[in-house]
Amino acid sequence: MTEAGSPPPVHDEQGDEGADSRLTAPAAERNKEPILKVLERVLPDTGLVLEVASGTGQHVVHFARALTRLTWQPSEVDATSRRSINAWLAGADLANVRRPLDLDVRTLPWPVPPLDAVVCINLIHIAPWSVAEALFAGAGLALGKGGLLYLYGPYFRRDRQTAPGNVAFDSTLRGQNPEWGVRNLEEVGALAKDRGFDPATIFEMPANNLSVLFRKC
């Protein structure tokens, strides 16, 4: 998924399957390292991590290279994105990443084994609210006690002045689809509570984004 003002992903240079199906998102290149610094602090040392809506595949390759004791399961509902993930993996030679899963979060329960963590980057604002509801429902079913649900993206917060860029981004999103939009953090927190998660832990991130962590009760 892309961030505010970011161009859409573009195809890499032509070549074999490892290149011609690979998409590159500038936003993913910018945010992958700041996100990794948070994940290094909060993810378990070992276990299975599901990335929901893996997009191009840039994130999972970057995270798996750094966090080699974790097993990573990328997923995408979009077939073109799954081809891109496979293309990135073909050139990365990583033993700790599984093939991308065709996953629609709204189809419950998710076809995954018990998970230690779920990572979801830039999804719930570029999707209907029903997707956020399904994300917490699916994660609640798949995670054990203490399991982590990590979200990254822009949010509105009642206790903070709203960044003008997020207001403009919200307007753009709602112009594309009235069911999309920057979410209120308090509403996301209420949804998490209803699905059996502890209150959020929040990390401020570049470009008016947040890392928002929920632990399964």
Across the chain, mean pLDDT equals: 92
- For the chain, list the domains and their CATH numbers: 10-215 (3.40.50.150)
Cα distances from 19 to residues 16, 37, 85, 177, in angstroms, run 6, 28, 11, 32
In degrees and rounded to multiples of 5, residue 38 shows phi and psi of -75, -45
Q: Cβ(123)–Cβ(81) under 8 Å? A: no
Average pLDDT of 164-182?
Answer: 96
Instruction: Place 12 in a pLDDT band, splitting at 50, 70 and 90.
Output: low
Q: Tell me the per-residue pLDDT of 109-126, one tens digit each, with 9 for 90 and over.
A: 999 999 999 999 999 999
Q: Flag whether pLDDT at 15 surpasses 80.
A: no
Q: Which residue has the tokens 């070992």?
A: 46
State residue 160's pLDDT score: 84
| CA distances to 16, 66, 82, 204 from 98, in Å | 20, 16, 12, 30
